[in-house]
Amino acid sequence: MNIFQAIFLGVVQGVTEVLPISSSGHLVLIPWFWGFSDPGLAFDVALHLGTLISIIAFFYKDWLGILQGFFRAIKKKEIKNIEEKMPFFILLATIPGFLGGYLSRDFAEGLFRAPFIVAFNLLFFGYLLYLADKLHTSKTLKGLTLKSSLVTGIAQAVAIIPGVSRSGITITVGLTQGFTREAAAKFSFLISAPIILGAGIFELSKISPDDMATNIFWAGLLSSVVASFITIRFLMNFVKSHSLKIFAYYRFALGFLIILLYNLGI
C-alpha cells in the first residue's frame, strides 16, 4: 500500500464510519473492487483512532458535561438531571457492544465479510433505516431511560457485522423510540467512543511501536481525523432539517451494485 491509498482509505473510513452507510462494508469492498493489498492491523487501528479523536473533539463540550455530571453524582450520591444520568446511560449502552465484540469478532470477521452478505446487510438494514425515519418524534436526550439506552447498546453490538453500520443501526433504534434525528445521531456518537476506545486499546496490544512509526499509519490516522470531523459536522447539521432516507437509498444502490458485480463474477 502506498501513501495515496492510505489517505484514500482514511477518508473512506472517516466518512463511512460517521454516515449510516457502513464503514466496515466499504473497507471490505474497496480492496475487492480495486485489488488493494491488506493494509494490516496497525493501519486498521490508525483509522479507528482517527474517528475516535474526531468524536471526542467535536463533542468536547458534551464530554466535559458528562464528566462533571459523573463526579457530581458520585459526590452527592444521587442522580437527578440528564447530565448526571448520561454517564450511566453511556456505560449501560456500551456493555452489550463490548460483549458482542468479544464473543463474535472472529466469526463476524470471517464469514460475514463475504461481499454478498455485506450487500444483503446494506439492503436489509438500509430498509430498516428507511422505515425508522418515519417514526421520529420530538423526544430529546432528556427522554433517555435505562431501557432505551440498553436497547440502543444491544443494537450497537450487531454492528460488528460488516454492512450493518454502527451509526446506522443505533440511529435507527433511536428513531424507532421516538427520538429526534438529532438526538438519535448524537447519542449514537456518544456511545461509540467507549467502544472504539476499548477496541483500539485491545488491538494496540497486538502491534509494535515500529508498526506505528510509518508514513502509512500516520497518513491513515490524520486523513481519518479530518474526514471524520468534517462528516460529523455535516451530519449533525443535516439531521436538523433533512430526512435520513437519502442514506437508505445509497445503501440500496450500493447493495444492488455489489450483487450485480458478484453475479457477474467481477
180-217 burial, b at 16+ Cβ within 10 Å, e below that, comes to bbbbbbbbbbbbbbbbbbebbeeeeeebeeebbebebb
Q: What does the block give as the cell for 252? A: 440500496
Residue 141 domain boundaries: 3-263
Question: If 0-12 CB within 10 Å is exposed, 13-18 middle and 19+ buried, where does residue 83 land?
Answer: middle
Q: What is the pLDDT of residue 31?
A: 67
Q: Report residue 138: phi and psi, to 5°.
A: -110, 15
**Could you read off the pLDDT of 205-249 as tens digits, one per residue?**
788 888 788 888 999 999 999 999 999 999 999 999 999 999 999
Q: What is the pLDDT of residue 25?
A: 67
Q: What is the pLDDT of residue 203?
A: 80
Q: What is the pLDDT of residue 265?
A: 66
Domain count for the chain, please give it: 1
CA 98-101-107 angle, to 5 degrees, is: 165
The 3-state DSSP class for residue 51 equals helix
* Residue 200 CB partners (closer than 8 Å, separation 6+): 45, 48, 49, 52
- Please identify every stretch of the chain with a pLDDT value under 50, giving residue numbers as ranges: none
Q: How far apart are CA 28 and CA 113, in angstroms?
A: 7
